[in-house]
Amino acid sequence: QHASCSSERYCDFVKNIVTKLAERYCKNPTVIGWQIDNEPGHYGLVDYSENAQQKFRLWLRRKYKTIDQLNATWGNTFWSESYQHFDQIRLPNQQELPEKPNPHAMLDMNRFMADELAGFVNMQADVLHKNISEKQWITTNLIPVFNPVDPVRMDHLDFTTYTRYLVTGHKMGIGKQGFRLGIPEDISFPNDQFRNFAGKTFGVMELQPGQVNWGVYNPQPMPGAVRMWIYHVFAGGGKFVCNYRFRQPLKGSEQYHYGMVMTDGVTLSPGGEEYRQVAGEMEQLRMAYDPDSEMPEYLAARRIGMLFDMNNYWETDFQKQTDQWNTMSHIHKYYNLLKTFAAPVDIISEKEDFSDYPFLIVPAYQLLDSMLVERWVKYVEQGGHLILTCRTGQKDRNGKLWEAPLAAPVHFLAGIDNLFYDHLPESLQGGVNFGTEKYDWNNWADVITPKKGTEVWATYADQFYKGSASVVHHKLGNGTVTYIGTDTDDGKFEKDVMRRVYEEAKVTVDDLPYGVVKEWRDGFYVALNYTSTTQDIAIPSHAKILIGSRVLEPAGVVVWKEK
């Protein structure tokens, strides 16, 4: 966390240490696996050392070949930023510049940092693979959606794990006691994302065991919350859960960080008791496990892939265009509404096969190329239902606007003739009409001119473009494309539009309150309650309840099987 992955000398020392450790413990039966480092990239710091500067220049030489090509791609004639040779280039640093750095340089810097970190992790994985037993696995633990980490690049691992702390005073949660429970997407989103990385499986290497020491304020989690979080990882397909830490330390910077065992080294903490409870319950569930179980047809019909790429996150969040824009809030808005539908969601990269999913949503996917658009067209023509949201397709892979109308590559796909975008002051709300309802918007509005034959589902209720399209729906081949151009604060509009997408496809969905989680895994249904109030779970009368009951108190868990 305080070393340079770009230092060859440092990497050589690390390689030697890893080699010696692997040689010593490769046949030790008590060593079941290897964790490379701890939360690589944890502090999100940029390495501006001379080693990193030189490596960045080398990375740029490999990508662009000539300085003229780099200048052209970065648009360096603007503001007289042209370089004569690569040795003049430095990593973008706001402390050295009077204005924000060049956005293309920033995008390349983020890519470079992610490559350096991934290369450092992959190098250690390669050393281990050469020396350890085939029975031992290799992983690392990552903070989800965190700069400069891109887990897709860490493809030499056997699988990835993540870290999660939900009750740290940073989020109020749902209802009056939500600050003791956390929010569901903090576990469900990485569940649905990490199982699609290397190895197609995942675990949680650090899960909060109780009160911590480093939050804004440090409340006690609600009794049962730790147990609920463990079950949430299980429900999402996780293979294991570890926690940090086993025993509360007596000295050092994290003295007040709970462990599974309290300061006397003997007494289980409340979280430790909940770990013990889950361990016993898992033995009970194993008795009912069916390895041949298949996802029920009604759930399989709802399956949706959500396309996510760190390059888009870096680029879009750097050029927000309005202070009210937040890329992850936009993505989580759609993700959370899909979870209230009890739709199985996979957070996927472009490497995956889109045809595995009846529905594919692409939120604010600003960077793309013709090959990706062609894949989307093929997906839709073969019967898929594609949902695009605002900002999608505005730029090429290097962040350049197309020498064409805004977002031109997706016009044919979405049945669009033209579009522009608008923002409002934070103090004002615009209106958008959908069906018989009117909704407020404020963050972002793509104002759409549809092609002839494209259905208009929603229109703007005011501003100088009153009556213009906000949402369009286009049939292409055997499938459909829905373009949702408006971004709201509360997400009610987006939820109702997405419900219609499913209705048009003749697929039924649930209507769960936000904070009630319902998942299916290996024949088990699991429901969890992140809200501050009691919730009734709709469980068929013929179902067999294995853990808990239909009535869920806050932090409650119920597991059942249906015949």
The pLDDT of 198-216, averaged and rounded, is 96
**72's torsion region: left (phi>0), alpha (psi -120 to 50) or beta?**
alpha
Cα–Cα distance between 371 and 384 in angstroms, integer?
17
What's the whole-number mean pLDDT along residues 425-438?
Answer: 97
Residues 229-256 pLDDT 10s: 999 999 999 999 999 999 999 999 999 9
What span, in angstroms and rounded, lies between the C-alpha atoms of 88 and 99? Answer: 19
- Report cis status (omega within 30 of 0) of the bond before 521: no
Tokens, residue 215: 């939050």
pLDDT in tens, 316-339: 999 999 999 999 999 999 999 999
Task: Give kind and range of the element (H or E) at residue 445.
Answer: strand 444-450
- Tokens 């501006």 appear where? 48
CA angle 96, 98, 100 (to 5 degrees): 90
Residue 397 CA, distance from chain mean position: 20
| Tens of pLDDT, residues 115-162 | 999 999 999 999 999 999 999 999 999 999 998 899 999 999 999 999
Q: What is the pLDDT of residues 332-369, one digit of tens each?
A: 999 999 999 999 999 999 999 999 999 999 999 999 99
Share of the chain above pLDDT 90, in %: 96
| Chain segment 78-100, per-residue pLDDT in tens | 989 999 999 999 999 989 988 89
Confirm if 118 and 150 have CB atoms less than 8 A apart: yes
pLDDT of residue 294: 96
Are β-strands 479-484 and 385-389 bridged in parallel, bridged antiparallel, or unpaired?
parallel
pLDDT band, very low/low/confident/very high, at 179 (cuts 50, 70, 90): very high
269-300 pLDDT, tens digit per residue, is: 999 999 999 999 999 999 999 989 999 999 99
374 φ, ψ to 5°? -60, -40
> Which range among 94-108, 176-190, 517-531 shows the weakest confidence by mean pLDDT?
94-108
Asked if the model's pLDDT at residue 522 lies above 90, the reply is: yes
Do residues 405 and 394 lie in contact, with contact meaning Cβ atoms separated by under 8 Å?
A: no
**pLDDT averaged over every residue in the chain:** 97
Confidence of residue 42 (pLDDT cuts 50, 70, 90): confident
Residues in a beta bridge with 243:
207
The full length of the chain comes to 563
**Would you call 169 helix, strand, or coil by DSSP?**
coil
Determine the pLDDT at residue 307: 99
For the chain, what percent of residues have pLDDT higher than 70? Answer: 100
pLDDT at 1 over 70: no
- The domains found in the chain, sorted by start residue, are 1-158 (3.20.20.80), 303-504 (3.40.50.880), 516-561 (2.60.40.1180)
Report how far residue 491's alpha carbon sits from residue 320's, in angstroms, rounded to the nearest whole number: 19
Q: Which of 553, 488, 559, 487 is nearest to 522 (CA)?
A: 559
